[in-house]
A and B are shown apart, each in its own frame.
Chain A
Amino acid sequence: MVQTFDVRLCNETHGDYAMNAIETAAAVKLSAKESSLNWYENGTSRIPFQVYTDAQLHQRELEAFFYKSHWCYIGLEAEIPNVGDFKRTAVGERSVVMSRDADGKVNVFENVCAHRGMQFCRERHGNRKEFVCPYHQWSYTLKGDLQGVPFRRGVKQDGKVNGGMPADFKTEDNGLNKLRVATRGGVVFATFDHAMESFEDFVGETVLAYFDRMFDGRTLKILGYNRQRIPGNWKLMQENIKDPYHPGLLHTWFVTFGLWRADNKSELKMDKHFRHAAMISTRGNAQAANEVSKVSSFKETMKLHDARFLDIVPEAWWNGPTAVMTTLFPSVILQQQVNSVSTRHIQPRGNGEFDFVWTHFGYEDDTPEMTERRLRQSNLFGPAGFVSADDGEVIELSQKGFEQKPSHRALAELGGRDVGDTDHMVTETLIRGMYAYWRKVMNE
Protein backbone atom coordinates (compact mmCIF):
# COMPACT_ATOMS: atom_id res chain seq x y z
CA MET A 1 0.00 0.00 0.00
CA VAL A 2 1.36 3.37 -0.93
CA GLN A 3 1.09 5.84 1.86
CA THR A 4 1.10 9.46 0.90
CA PHE A 5 2.50 12.21 3.03
CA ASP A 6 -0.39 13.74 4.82
CA VAL A 7 0.06 16.29 7.53
CA ARG A 8 -2.81 15.60 9.86
CA LEU A 9 -3.47 16.69 13.35
CA CYS A 10 -3.76 14.10 16.04
CA ASN A 11 -5.84 16.50 18.02
CA GLU A 12 -8.80 17.16 15.76
CA THR A 13 -10.32 19.75 18.03
CA HIS A 14 -8.07 22.58 16.79
CA GLY A 15 -9.84 23.46 13.57
CA ASP A 16 -7.51 26.24 12.51
CA TYR A 17 -4.55 24.02 13.14
CA ALA A 18 -5.87 21.39 10.84
CA MET A 19 -6.37 24.00 8.12
CA ASN A 20 -2.84 25.22 8.38
CA ALA A 21 -1.56 21.71 8.55
CA ILE A 22 -3.19 20.92 5.24
CA GLU A 23 -1.83 24.10 3.68
CA THR A 24 1.66 23.14 4.78
CA ALA A 25 1.28 19.68 3.35
CA ALA A 26 0.10 21.09 0.04
CA ALA A 27 3.03 23.46 -0.10
CA VAL A 28 5.46 20.66 0.59
CA LYS A 29 3.97 18.54 -2.17
CA LEU A 30 4.12 21.39 -4.67
CA SER A 31 7.72 22.24 -4.07
CA ALA A 32 8.89 18.68 -3.82
CA LYS A 33 9.00 18.31 -7.58
CA GLU A 34 11.97 20.62 -7.63
CA SER A 35 13.66 19.28 -4.53
CA SER A 36 17.25 18.26 -5.08
CA LEU A 37 16.84 15.95 -2.09
CA ASN A 38 15.27 12.56 -1.84
CA TRP A 39 12.29 12.71 0.54
CA TYR A 40 10.66 9.38 1.23
CA GLU A 41 7.09 9.41 -0.07
CA ASN A 42 7.44 13.16 -0.37
CA GLY A 43 7.14 13.51 3.41
CA THR A 44 9.53 14.33 6.24
CA SER A 45 9.68 11.07 8.14
CA ARG A 46 13.05 10.29 6.55
CA ILE A 47 15.57 13.09 6.54
CA PRO A 48 18.31 13.11 3.91
CA PHE A 49 21.77 13.33 5.51
CA GLN A 50 22.55 16.02 2.96
CA VAL A 51 20.57 18.59 4.94
CA TYR A 52 23.36 18.32 7.51
CA THR A 53 26.36 17.94 5.23
CA ASP A 54 25.76 20.29 2.29
CA ALA A 55 27.59 23.61 2.64
CA GLN A 56 25.45 25.31 -0.02
CA LEU A 57 22.22 24.30 1.66
CA HIS A 58 23.69 25.76 4.82
CA GLN A 59 24.28 29.13 3.17
CA ARG A 60 20.68 29.11 1.96
CA GLU A 61 19.47 28.25 5.46
CA LEU A 62 21.35 31.20 6.91
CA GLU A 63 19.63 33.52 4.44
CA ALA A 64 16.19 31.95 4.77
CA PHE A 65 16.06 31.34 8.53
CA PHE A 66 18.56 33.57 10.28
CA TYR A 67 18.68 36.67 8.07
CA LYS A 68 15.08 36.82 6.86
CA SER A 69 11.54 36.24 8.14
CA HIS A 70 12.61 35.02 11.58
CA TRP A 71 13.13 36.73 14.92
CA CYS A 72 16.47 35.57 16.30
CA TYR A 73 17.51 35.47 19.93
CA ILE A 74 19.85 38.24 21.07
CA GLY A 75 19.86 38.08 24.85
CA LEU A 76 18.19 39.19 28.03
CA GLU A 77 17.54 42.80 28.97
CA ALA A 78 19.07 42.04 32.35
CA GLU A 79 22.42 41.59 30.61
CA ILE A 80 22.43 45.31 29.75
CA PRO A 81 20.56 46.97 32.63
CA ASN A 82 22.20 50.43 32.39
CA VAL A 83 22.48 53.11 29.74
CA GLY A 84 25.59 52.40 27.67
CA ASP A 85 25.72 48.70 28.54
CA PHE A 86 26.35 46.47 25.58
CA LYS A 87 26.74 42.83 24.68
CA ARG A 88 28.26 41.38 21.54
CA THR A 89 26.56 38.27 20.18
CA ALA A 90 25.55 36.72 16.86
CA VAL A 91 22.58 36.29 14.57
CA GLY A 92 23.36 33.22 12.52
CA GLU A 93 26.98 33.76 11.54
CA ARG A 94 26.80 37.56 11.66
CA SER A 95 28.25 39.43 14.63
CA VAL A 96 25.88 41.97 16.20
CA VAL A 97 25.90 44.27 19.20
CA MET A 98 23.02 44.88 21.56
CA SER A 99 23.18 48.19 23.45
CA ARG A 100 21.01 50.26 25.73
CA ASP A 101 20.72 53.88 24.64
CA ALA A 102 20.17 57.07 26.65
CA ASP A 103 16.38 56.64 26.39
CA GLY A 104 16.71 53.21 27.97
CA LYS A 105 15.82 51.51 24.70
CA VAL A 106 17.47 48.35 23.44
CA ASN A 107 19.20 48.57 20.06
CA VAL A 108 20.82 45.89 17.97
CA PHE A 109 23.17 46.67 15.10
CA GLU A 110 25.58 44.74 12.95
CA ASN A 111 29.19 44.70 14.08
CA VAL A 112 30.58 46.02 10.81
CA CYS A 113 31.88 49.55 10.53
CA ALA A 114 30.06 51.61 7.89
CA HIS A 115 33.39 52.91 6.61
CA ARG A 116 35.75 50.03 5.82
CA GLY A 117 33.75 47.15 7.16
CA MET A 118 35.86 46.35 10.19
CA GLN A 119 34.30 44.27 12.96
CA PHE A 120 34.88 47.11 15.38
CA CYS A 121 33.49 45.71 18.63
CA ARG A 122 35.77 43.08 20.11
CA GLU A 123 34.84 43.13 23.81
CA ARG A 124 31.94 40.84 24.54
CA HIS A 125 30.32 43.13 27.06
CA GLY A 126 30.89 46.46 28.74
CA ASN A 127 29.67 50.02 29.01
CA ARG A 128 30.27 52.76 26.48
CA LYS A 129 29.21 56.31 25.76
CA GLU A 130 29.67 55.62 22.06
CA PHE A 131 31.15 53.01 19.76
CA VAL A 132 34.32 53.94 17.95
CA CYS A 133 35.92 51.95 15.18
CA PRO A 134 39.65 51.98 15.96
CA TYR A 135 40.71 51.96 12.30
CA HIS A 136 39.71 55.54 11.35
CA GLN A 137 37.89 56.61 14.51
CA TRP A 138 34.44 56.69 13.00
CA SER A 139 32.13 56.94 15.97
CA TYR A 140 28.57 55.79 16.46
CA THR A 141 25.91 56.52 19.03
CA LEU A 142 24.43 53.82 21.25
CA LYS A 143 21.64 53.61 18.67
CA GLY A 144 24.12 52.82 15.92
CA ASP A 145 23.90 56.21 14.21
CA LEU A 146 27.07 57.67 12.74
CA GLN A 147 28.08 60.76 14.68
CA GLY A 148 31.69 61.48 13.94
CA VAL A 149 33.94 61.17 10.87
CA PRO A 150 37.50 62.48 11.33
CA PHE A 151 38.59 65.00 8.68
CA ARG A 152 35.09 65.09 7.30
CA ARG A 153 35.55 68.76 6.36
CA GLY A 154 39.15 68.24 5.35
CA VAL A 155 42.34 69.65 6.85
CA LYS A 156 43.35 73.31 6.47
CA GLN A 157 46.90 73.81 5.37
CA ASP A 158 48.45 77.04 4.03
CA GLY A 159 45.01 78.57 3.64
CA LYS A 160 43.69 75.65 1.59
CA VAL A 161 41.39 72.82 2.62
CA ASN A 162 42.76 69.39 1.76
CA GLY A 163 40.59 66.30 1.42
CA GLY A 164 37.41 65.88 3.37
CA MET A 165 34.34 63.89 2.46
CA PRO A 166 32.31 64.85 -0.61
CA ALA A 167 29.82 67.68 -0.01
CA ASP A 168 26.87 65.30 -0.34
CA PHE A 169 28.17 62.91 2.35
CA LYS A 170 25.52 62.51 5.02
CA THR A 171 26.08 60.90 8.37
CA GLU A 172 22.39 59.84 8.32
CA ASP A 173 23.11 57.60 5.34
CA ASN A 174 26.14 55.97 6.90
CA GLY A 175 25.05 54.53 10.20
CA LEU A 176 25.54 50.95 11.25
CA ASN A 177 23.20 48.31 9.87
CA LYS A 178 20.38 48.36 12.41
CA LEU A 179 18.26 45.36 13.13
CA ARG A 180 14.61 45.56 14.07
CA VAL A 181 14.26 44.79 17.78
CA ALA A 182 11.50 43.13 19.77
CA THR A 183 11.50 42.72 23.52
CA ARG A 184 9.05 40.68 25.50
CA GLY A 185 9.23 39.68 29.14
CA GLY A 186 12.84 40.85 29.33
CA VAL A 187 14.01 38.82 26.34
CA VAL A 188 15.47 40.53 23.28
CA PHE A 189 15.01 39.29 19.72
CA ALA A 190 16.07 40.96 16.51
CA THR A 191 15.80 40.56 12.77
CA PHE A 192 17.54 41.98 9.71
CA ASP A 193 14.14 41.77 8.04
CA HIS A 194 12.33 45.05 8.67
CA ALA A 195 9.19 43.92 6.87
CA MET A 196 8.45 40.74 8.76
CA GLU A 197 5.54 39.97 11.09
CA SER A 198 5.60 40.91 14.79
CA PHE A 199 7.44 38.75 17.30
CA GLU A 200 4.12 37.64 18.76
CA ASP A 201 2.76 36.56 15.38
CA PHE A 202 6.05 34.87 14.63
CA VAL A 203 5.89 32.74 17.76
CA GLY A 204 2.15 32.14 17.53
CA GLU A 205 -0.45 31.95 20.28
CA THR A 206 0.20 28.37 21.38
CA VAL A 207 3.93 28.61 21.96
CA LEU A 208 3.75 32.23 23.12
CA ALA A 209 1.77 31.04 26.14
CA TYR A 210 4.78 28.96 27.21
CA PHE A 211 7.14 31.85 26.48
CA ASP A 212 5.06 34.14 28.68
CA ARG A 213 4.90 31.53 31.41
CA MET A 214 8.67 31.69 31.81
CA PHE A 215 9.10 35.38 31.06
CA ASP A 216 6.16 36.79 32.96
CA GLY A 217 7.51 40.32 33.41
CA ARG A 218 9.59 39.76 36.52
CA THR A 219 13.08 41.24 36.18
CA LEU A 220 15.58 38.50 35.47
CA LYS A 221 18.79 37.96 37.39
CA ILE A 222 21.72 36.66 35.35
CA LEU A 223 23.49 33.72 37.01
CA GLY A 224 26.14 33.23 34.32
CA TYR A 225 27.16 31.58 31.08
CA ASN A 226 28.40 28.31 29.68
CA ARG A 227 29.77 28.07 26.16
CA GLN A 228 30.40 24.97 24.14
CA ARG A 229 31.33 24.33 20.52
CA ILE A 230 29.55 21.30 19.14
CA PRO A 231 30.88 19.69 15.96
CA GLY A 232 27.52 19.00 14.39
CA ASN A 233 24.91 20.72 12.25
CA TRP A 234 22.95 23.39 14.14
CA LYS A 235 19.56 21.83 13.33
CA LEU A 236 20.53 18.77 15.35
CA MET A 237 20.20 20.81 18.52
CA GLN A 238 16.71 21.93 17.58
CA GLU A 239 15.90 18.30 16.83
CA ASN A 240 17.39 17.15 20.11
CA ILE A 241 14.90 19.30 21.99
CA LYS A 242 12.09 18.21 19.69
CA ASP A 243 12.86 14.58 20.45
CA PRO A 244 11.19 13.18 23.56
CA TYR A 245 12.15 9.66 22.43
CA HIS A 246 15.73 9.91 23.70
CA PRO A 247 15.73 11.36 27.26
CA GLY A 248 14.58 8.21 28.98
CA LEU A 249 17.03 6.15 26.94
CA LEU A 250 20.17 8.25 26.52
CA HIS A 251 20.02 10.15 29.80
CA THR A 252 20.09 7.23 32.18
CA TRP A 253 20.86 9.67 34.99
CA PHE A 254 17.34 11.07 34.58
CA VAL A 255 15.90 7.60 34.88
CA THR A 256 18.22 6.36 37.60
CA PHE A 257 17.28 9.18 39.91
CA GLY A 258 13.61 9.26 39.05
CA LEU A 259 13.44 12.54 37.15
CA TRP A 260 12.14 10.82 34.04
CA ARG A 261 9.30 8.37 34.33
CA ALA A 262 7.27 6.70 31.63
CA ASP A 263 4.09 7.65 33.49
CA ASN A 264 4.85 11.37 33.46
CA LYS A 265 1.99 13.36 32.03
CA SER A 266 3.14 15.05 28.86
CA GLU A 267 2.13 17.05 25.83
CA LEU A 268 3.75 18.21 22.63
CA LYS A 269 2.51 21.42 21.04
CA MET A 270 3.51 23.33 17.94
CA ASP A 271 2.83 26.65 16.28
CA LYS A 272 0.73 26.50 13.13
CA HIS A 273 3.82 26.32 10.91
CA PHE A 274 5.34 23.47 12.97
CA ARG A 275 8.58 25.44 13.37
CA HIS A 276 8.37 26.14 17.09
CA ALA A 277 7.36 23.65 19.74
CA ALA A 278 6.90 23.08 23.43
CA MET A 279 7.54 19.76 25.17
CA ILE A 280 5.54 19.92 28.34
CA SER A 281 5.80 17.35 31.08
CA THR A 282 4.63 17.00 34.64
CA ARG A 283 6.30 14.72 37.08
CA GLY A 284 3.85 12.58 38.97
CA ASN A 285 4.95 13.53 42.47
CA ALA A 286 6.18 17.04 41.96
CA GLN A 287 5.45 18.30 45.43
CA ALA A 288 7.36 15.67 47.36
CA ALA A 289 10.77 17.32 47.05
CA ASN A 290 12.77 14.96 49.21
CA GLU A 291 10.97 11.98 47.77
CA VAL A 292 12.70 12.57 44.48
CA SER A 293 15.98 10.91 45.29
CA LYS A 294 14.13 7.86 46.53
CA VAL A 295 11.86 7.41 43.56
CA SER A 296 13.42 5.20 40.97
CA SER A 297 11.97 3.38 38.05
CA PHE A 298 15.30 1.96 36.99
CA LYS A 299 17.42 0.81 39.87
CA GLU A 300 15.36 0.58 43.00
CA THR A 301 18.37 1.05 45.25
CA MET A 302 19.99 4.05 43.56
CA LYS A 303 20.20 7.08 45.75
CA LEU A 304 22.19 10.24 45.40
CA HIS A 305 24.97 10.66 47.92
CA ASP A 306 23.94 14.30 48.06
CA ALA A 307 20.23 14.77 47.37
CA ARG A 308 20.61 18.54 47.00
CA PHE A 309 21.12 18.07 43.25
CA LEU A 310 17.40 17.35 43.18
CA ASP A 311 16.12 19.55 45.94
CA ILE A 312 13.12 20.54 43.84
CA VAL A 313 10.67 23.10 45.13
CA PRO A 314 7.63 23.77 42.93
CA GLU A 315 7.08 27.40 41.97
CA ALA A 316 3.74 29.13 41.47
CA TRP A 317 4.56 30.28 37.93
CA TRP A 318 5.00 26.69 36.73
CA ASN A 319 1.26 26.42 36.78
CA GLY A 320 1.54 22.65 36.78
CA PRO A 321 4.23 21.39 34.41
CA THR A 322 7.58 20.55 36.01
CA ALA A 323 9.48 20.81 32.75
CA VAL A 324 8.80 22.78 29.59
CA MET A 325 11.37 22.79 26.81
CA THR A 326 10.54 25.34 24.14
CA THR A 327 12.23 25.45 20.76
CA LEU A 328 12.00 28.78 18.93
CA PHE A 329 13.17 28.18 15.40
CA PRO A 330 15.91 28.71 14.41
CA SER A 331 17.98 30.33 17.12
CA VAL A 332 17.08 29.47 20.68
CA ILE A 333 15.87 26.91 23.20
CA LEU A 334 14.14 28.00 26.37
CA GLN A 335 14.68 25.63 29.25
CA GLN A 336 12.63 25.10 32.36
CA GLN A 337 13.64 21.86 33.99
CA VAL A 338 12.24 21.95 37.50
CA ASN A 339 14.01 24.91 39.19
CA SER A 340 16.67 25.36 36.52
CA VAL A 341 15.90 27.97 33.88
CA SER A 342 18.08 29.04 30.99
CA THR A 343 18.21 30.18 27.41
CA ARG A 344 20.37 28.19 24.99
CA HIS A 345 21.50 30.17 21.98
CA ILE A 346 22.41 28.43 18.72
CA GLN A 347 25.15 30.16 16.69
CA PRO A 348 26.04 28.20 13.53
CA ARG A 349 29.58 28.02 12.16
CA GLY A 350 29.28 26.37 8.78
CA ASN A 351 27.17 23.29 8.21
CA GLY A 352 29.19 21.05 10.52
CA GLU A 353 29.56 23.05 13.72
CA PHE A 354 27.80 25.49 16.01
CA ASP A 355 28.41 27.35 19.23
CA PHE A 356 25.89 26.77 21.97
CA VAL A 357 25.67 29.47 24.61
CA TRP A 358 23.78 28.88 27.83
CA THR A 359 22.56 31.80 29.91
CA HIS A 360 21.28 30.68 33.27
CA PHE A 361 19.11 33.09 35.18
CA GLY A 362 16.72 33.50 38.07
CA TYR A 363 14.09 36.05 39.00
CA GLU A 364 14.31 39.24 41.04
CA ASP A 365 12.07 37.83 43.77
CA ASP A 366 14.10 34.64 44.25
CA THR A 367 15.16 34.01 47.83
CA PRO A 368 18.88 33.25 48.35
CA GLU A 369 17.81 29.63 48.87
CA MET A 370 16.04 29.56 45.49
CA THR A 371 19.11 31.03 43.77
CA GLU A 372 21.25 28.36 45.40
CA ARG A 373 18.77 25.70 44.29
CA ARG A 374 18.79 26.91 40.68
CA LEU A 375 22.60 26.84 40.73
CA ARG A 376 22.73 23.34 42.20
CA GLN A 377 20.29 22.02 39.63
CA SER A 378 22.34 23.67 36.87
CA ASN A 379 24.81 20.81 37.45
CA LEU A 380 22.36 18.69 35.48
CA PHE A 381 22.59 20.94 32.41
CA GLY A 382 25.22 22.61 30.26
CA PRO A 383 28.34 21.21 28.57
CA ALA A 384 29.23 19.06 31.59
CA GLY A 385 25.72 18.47 32.92
CA PHE A 386 24.64 15.09 34.20
CA VAL A 387 21.95 14.97 31.51
CA SER A 388 23.09 17.46 28.85
CA ALA A 389 26.70 16.55 28.21
CA ASP A 390 25.55 13.44 26.38
CA ASP A 391 23.36 15.48 23.99
CA GLY A 392 26.43 17.24 22.57
CA GLU A 393 28.21 13.91 22.29
CA VAL A 394 25.44 12.21 20.30
CA ILE A 395 25.12 15.24 18.00
CA GLU A 396 28.86 15.08 17.22
CA LEU A 397 28.68 11.38 16.47
CA SER A 398 25.52 11.75 14.37
CA GLN A 399 27.30 14.33 12.22
CA LYS A 400 30.18 11.87 11.77
CA GLY A 401 27.70 9.27 10.52
CA PHE A 402 26.13 11.76 8.07
CA GLU A 403 29.50 12.86 6.69
CA GLN A 404 30.55 9.35 5.81
CA LYS A 405 27.37 8.57 3.92
CA PRO A 406 25.68 11.78 2.70
CA SER A 407 23.38 9.99 0.27
CA HIS A 408 21.68 8.13 3.11
CA ARG A 409 18.87 9.37 5.39
CA ALA A 410 17.77 9.38 9.02
CA LEU A 411 14.48 7.91 10.20
CA ALA A 412 12.00 9.83 12.30
CA GLU A 413 8.96 7.58 12.18
CA LEU A 414 8.19 6.98 15.83
CA GLY A 415 4.52 7.76 16.28
CA GLY A 416 3.84 7.60 12.54
CA ARG A 417 4.73 9.67 9.48
CA ASP A 418 2.37 12.57 10.03
CA VAL A 419 2.67 15.77 12.04
CA GLY A 420 0.51 16.93 14.89
CA ASP A 421 0.25 17.79 18.55
CA THR A 422 0.17 14.84 20.92
CA ASP A 423 -0.61 14.09 24.55
CA HIS A 424 2.32 11.72 24.91
CA MET A 425 6.06 11.57 24.32
CA VAL A 426 6.33 8.42 22.24
CA THR A 427 6.73 10.24 18.95
CA GLU A 428 9.12 12.08 16.67
CA THR A 429 6.35 14.27 15.31
CA LEU A 430 8.05 17.55 16.23
CA ILE A 431 11.06 16.67 14.08
CA ARG A 432 8.79 15.79 11.17
CA GLY A 433 6.99 19.08 11.74
CA MET A 434 10.22 21.07 11.71
CA TYR A 435 11.21 19.54 8.37
CA ALA A 436 7.76 20.14 6.89
CA TYR A 437 8.41 23.80 7.64
CA TRP A 438 12.02 23.56 6.44
CA ARG A 439 10.93 22.08 3.12
CA LYS A 440 8.34 24.78 2.61
CA VAL A 441 10.73 27.65 3.28
CA MET A 442 13.71 26.12 1.51
CA ASN A 443 11.55 25.00 -1.39
CA GLU A 444 13.19 21.60 -1.19
Chain B
Amino acid sequence: MSKHIETHFAVTQLHARYASAVDANDWDAWVDCFIDDCVYRIQPRENFERGFPLATLSFESKGMLRDRAYGIKETLFHDPYYQRHIVGAPLIQSVTDECIKCEANYVVIRTKLSELSTVYNAGRYIDEIVHTEAGLKLKSRQCIYDSEMIPNSIIYPI
Protein backbone atom coordinates (compact mmCIF):
# COMPACT_ATOMS: atom_id res chain seq x y z
CA MET B 1 0.00 0.00 0.00
CA SER B 2 2.70 2.49 0.93
CA LYS B 3 4.30 1.96 -2.47
CA HIS B 4 0.98 2.94 -4.09
CA ILE B 5 0.69 6.01 -1.92
CA GLU B 6 4.24 6.95 -2.82
CA THR B 7 3.51 6.65 -6.54
CA HIS B 8 0.28 8.56 -6.21
CA PHE B 9 2.03 11.30 -4.28
CA ALA B 10 4.89 11.55 -6.78
CA VAL B 11 2.46 11.75 -9.73
CA THR B 12 0.34 14.46 -8.12
CA GLN B 13 3.52 16.41 -7.42
CA LEU B 14 4.53 16.16 -11.08
CA HIS B 15 1.05 17.30 -12.11
CA ALA B 16 1.24 20.18 -9.68
CA ARG B 17 4.71 21.14 -10.87
CA TYR B 18 3.49 21.11 -14.47
CA ALA B 19 0.44 23.24 -13.66
CA SER B 20 2.57 25.65 -11.73
CA ALA B 21 4.99 26.00 -14.68
CA VAL B 22 2.35 26.65 -17.33
CA ASP B 23 0.36 28.99 -15.09
CA ALA B 24 3.47 30.98 -14.25
CA ASN B 25 4.48 31.33 -17.93
CA ASP B 26 7.69 29.52 -17.08
CA TRP B 27 8.19 27.81 -20.43
CA ASP B 28 11.60 26.44 -19.56
CA ALA B 29 10.12 24.73 -16.51
CA TRP B 30 7.34 23.40 -18.77
CA VAL B 31 9.89 21.91 -21.18
CA ASP B 32 11.72 20.47 -18.18
CA CYS B 33 8.72 18.41 -17.16
CA PHE B 34 9.50 16.15 -20.15
CA ILE B 35 12.28 13.75 -21.08
CA ASP B 36 14.15 14.34 -24.37
CA ASP B 37 12.32 11.69 -26.35
CA CYS B 38 8.81 12.82 -25.59
CA VAL B 39 5.36 13.41 -27.00
CA TYR B 40 3.10 16.37 -26.28
CA ARG B 41 -0.27 16.72 -27.94
CA ILE B 42 -3.32 18.92 -27.61
CA GLN B 43 -6.07 17.14 -29.48
CA PRO B 44 -9.84 17.60 -29.84
CA ARG B 45 -11.76 14.71 -28.34
CA GLU B 46 -13.54 14.35 -31.67
CA ASN B 47 -10.32 13.50 -33.53
CA PHE B 48 -9.11 11.25 -30.70
CA GLU B 49 -12.29 9.20 -30.60
CA ARG B 50 -12.78 9.00 -34.36
CA GLY B 51 -9.20 7.90 -34.90
CA PHE B 52 -8.15 11.01 -36.83
CA PRO B 53 -4.47 11.72 -36.26
CA LEU B 54 -4.70 15.51 -36.48
CA ALA B 55 -3.99 17.39 -33.26
CA THR B 56 -4.24 21.10 -32.53
CA LEU B 57 -0.59 20.88 -31.57
CA SER B 58 1.54 17.75 -31.84
CA PHE B 59 5.15 17.65 -30.73
CA GLU B 60 7.44 14.65 -30.87
CA SER B 61 10.60 15.79 -29.14
CA LYS B 62 11.84 18.10 -26.44
CA GLY B 63 13.31 20.16 -29.28
CA MET B 64 9.81 20.81 -30.59
CA LEU B 65 8.72 21.92 -27.12
CA ARG B 66 11.66 24.31 -27.04
CA ASP B 67 10.62 25.64 -30.44
CA ARG B 68 7.13 26.27 -29.09
CA ALA B 69 8.58 28.05 -26.06
CA TYR B 70 10.58 30.23 -28.43
CA GLY B 71 7.46 30.89 -30.53
CA ILE B 72 5.48 31.97 -27.47
CA LYS B 73 8.24 34.22 -26.26
CA GLU B 74 9.42 35.70 -29.54
CA THR B 75 7.17 35.26 -32.54
CA LEU B 76 3.50 34.61 -31.71
CA PHE B 77 1.41 37.73 -31.40
CA HIS B 78 -1.46 37.31 -28.93
CA ASP B 79 -3.68 39.20 -26.57
CA PRO B 80 -2.12 38.83 -23.12
CA TYR B 81 -3.83 36.41 -20.75
CA TYR B 82 -3.36 34.42 -17.59
CA GLN B 83 -4.23 30.79 -17.40
CA ARG B 84 -5.03 28.73 -14.32
CA HIS B 85 -5.06 24.94 -14.33
CA ILE B 86 -7.23 22.90 -12.01
CA VAL B 87 -6.12 19.26 -12.23
CA GLY B 88 -8.16 16.43 -10.75
CA ALA B 89 -6.85 13.42 -8.88
CA PRO B 90 -4.82 11.15 -11.12
CA LEU B 91 -6.26 7.78 -12.02
CA ILE B 92 -3.21 5.52 -12.00
CA GLN B 93 -3.82 2.79 -14.56
CA SER B 94 -0.62 0.80 -14.53
CA VAL B 95 2.75 0.92 -12.85
CA THR B 96 5.83 -0.89 -14.11
CA ASP B 97 9.51 -0.28 -13.46
CA GLU B 98 9.65 1.62 -16.76
CA CYS B 99 6.47 3.58 -16.86
CA ILE B 100 3.47 4.88 -14.93
CA LYS B 101 0.35 5.25 -17.02
CA CYS B 102 -2.31 7.56 -15.67
CA GLU B 103 -5.05 10.02 -16.51
CA ALA B 104 -6.32 13.16 -14.86
CA ASN B 105 -9.13 15.58 -15.64
CA TYR B 106 -8.28 19.23 -16.06
CA VAL B 107 -9.94 22.58 -16.49
CA VAL B 108 -8.07 25.64 -17.67
CA ILE B 109 -9.48 29.03 -16.79
CA ARG B 110 -8.39 31.97 -18.91
CA THR B 111 -8.33 35.52 -17.66
CA LYS B 112 -7.71 38.30 -20.13
CA LEU B 113 -6.68 41.69 -18.84
CA SER B 114 -9.68 43.80 -17.81
CA GLU B 115 -11.98 40.80 -18.42
CA LEU B 116 -13.81 38.15 -16.43
CA SER B 117 -12.31 34.69 -15.92
CA THR B 118 -13.82 32.08 -18.23
CA VAL B 119 -13.52 28.34 -18.78
CA TYR B 120 -11.04 28.08 -21.61
CA ASN B 121 -10.36 24.40 -22.12
CA ALA B 122 -11.65 21.27 -20.40
CA GLY B 123 -10.39 17.75 -20.91
CA ARG B 124 -8.19 15.02 -19.61
CA TYR B 125 -4.50 14.34 -19.60
CA ILE B 126 -3.38 10.93 -20.73
CA ASP B 127 0.13 10.54 -19.36
CA GLU B 128 3.09 8.23 -19.52
CA ILE B 129 5.51 9.05 -16.76
CA VAL B 130 9.03 7.74 -16.25
CA HIS B 131 11.58 7.81 -13.47
CA THR B 132 14.68 9.91 -14.05
CA GLU B 133 17.52 11.03 -11.82
CA ALA B 134 15.71 14.33 -11.50
CA GLY B 135 12.50 12.64 -10.38
CA LEU B 136 9.39 11.78 -12.38
CA LYS B 137 9.10 13.23 -15.87
CA LEU B 138 6.62 13.02 -18.69
CA LYS B 139 7.42 10.74 -21.57
CA SER B 140 4.07 11.51 -23.09
CA ARG B 141 1.25 13.92 -22.30
CA GLN B 142 -1.86 14.05 -24.42
CA CYS B 143 -4.37 16.77 -23.61
CA ILE B 144 -7.63 15.46 -25.02
CA TYR B 145 -10.11 18.31 -24.77
CA ASP B 146 -13.91 18.26 -24.76
CA SER B 147 -14.21 21.96 -25.53
CA GLU B 148 -15.91 21.99 -28.91
CA MET B 149 -14.74 25.45 -29.78
CA ILE B 150 -11.40 26.98 -29.02
CA PRO B 151 -12.10 30.52 -27.86
CA ASN B 152 -10.13 32.04 -30.73
CA SER B 153 -6.69 30.63 -30.09
CA ILE B 154 -4.41 28.55 -27.91
CA ILE B 155 -1.01 30.12 -27.39
CA TYR B 156 0.32 28.64 -24.16
CA PRO B 157 0.60 24.92 -23.49
CA ILE B 158 -2.37 23.35 -21.74
Residues of chain A whose beta carbon lies under 8 Å from any beta carbon of chain B: 124-125, 222-231, 250-253, 256, 304-306, 308-309, 355, 360, 371, 375-376, 378-379, 382-384, 386, 389-390, 392-394, 396-397
Contacts and interface: CB of A to CB of B under 8 A. Distances in A.
Tier of interface size on chain B: 35 or more
Interface in B117-158: 148-155
B60 A382 contact: no
A396 to B, nearest CB: 6
B105 interface: no
Looking at chain A's contact residues, is the secondary structure mostly helix, strand, loop, or mixed?
mixed
25 contacts: A224-B46, A224-B50, A224-B52, A225-B44, A226-B44, A226-B54, A226-B150, A304-B63, A305-B63, A306-B61, A306-B67, A308-B61, A309-B64, A360-B54, A379-B64, A382-B56, A383-B152, A383-B154, A384-B57, A386-B75, A389-B155, A390-B78, A392-B152, A393-B152, A394-B77
A229 to B, nearest CB: 4
A379 B74 contact: no
Interface of B: 42, 44, 46-47, 50, 52-64, 66-68, 70-71, 74-79, 148-155
Contact of A393 (B75, B79, B150): B79
A313 to B, nearest CB: 18
B47 A225 contact: yes
A250 B77 contact: yes
Tell me which of A124, A304, A375, A386 has the highest count of chain B C-beta atoms within 10 A of its own C-beta. Answer: A386
B78 A393 contact: yes
A229 B155 contact: no
Given A124-B46, A228-B150, A394-B77, 7 more contacts: A225-B44, A251-B75, A306-B66, A376-B58, A384-B150, A384-B155, A390-B77
A225 B58 contact: no
Tell me which of A229, A252, A306 has the highest count of chain B C-beta atoms within 10 A of its own C-beta. Answer: A306
Contacts of A222: 52
Contacts of A392: 152-153
B58 A384 contact: no
Nearest to B154: A384
A252 B155 contact: no
Given A224-B54, A253-B71, A384-B56, A396 B44 contact: no
Nearest to A396: B152
A224 B64 contact: no
